[in-house]
Amino acid sequence: MAAGAHADPKLLPPEQAFHFSARALDDKTLEARFEVTDGYYLYREKLKFALDPGMAELAATLPVGKVKEDQFFGKVETYRGDVVVRLPLPAPAAGKSVVLVADSQGCADAGVCYPLTRQKVTVAVPEPGKGPGPVVEAVPRKKYWFN
């Protein structure tokens, strides 16, 4: 019997294909980062950020993606490689931790798409005048190096 429904054994789970991390640049700004593995892409319009609790969507200036002409949806922008997004904090959080929630959705060139994937990181926000803080990964890379 064939295993895993004929999936390419190299097909990564979305959290690994779209490696998410974030850090605080200063007391007012977070920086979110998706490292999109070669052979995968993310949809720009599906990228959403929020703080938990509350889950109000954060105002984000998303970088311009590569425009793909989709026969059903028209122009669709996609990201490959690194995607870096600056996120202004909606309320002062100096010296506190915030939980950043990122929703993303993408596909593999191998011909499969993943459903919406939610990833979370807890970021320590520095005191005013300090920063940037350390990078926090949603799924630490060392955890899946040997998988």
* Residue 34, both tokens: 């998706």
Distance CA 76, CA 57 (A): 21
Phi, psi of 18 (to 5 degrees): -120, 80
Residue 1 binds other proteins (CB under 8 A)? yes
Instruction: Considering only CA atoms, give the Rg of the chain.
Output: 17
Binding other proteins (rule: CB under 8 A), the pick from 56, 61, 69, 72 is 72
Site map 14..53 versus other proteins, x via CB under 8 A: x----------------------------x--x-------
Helical residues (DSSP H) of 1-147, grouped into ranges:
14-17, 141-144
Find the binding residues for other proteins in span 108-147 (CB under 8 A). 108, 110-115
Find the binding residues for other proteins in span 80-109 (CB under 8 A). 105, 107-108
> From the DSSP assignment, how many helices (H) and strands (E) are in the chain?
2, 12
Binding site for other proteins (CB under 8 A): 1-8, 11, 13-14, 43, 46, 70, 72-73, 105, 107-108, 110-115
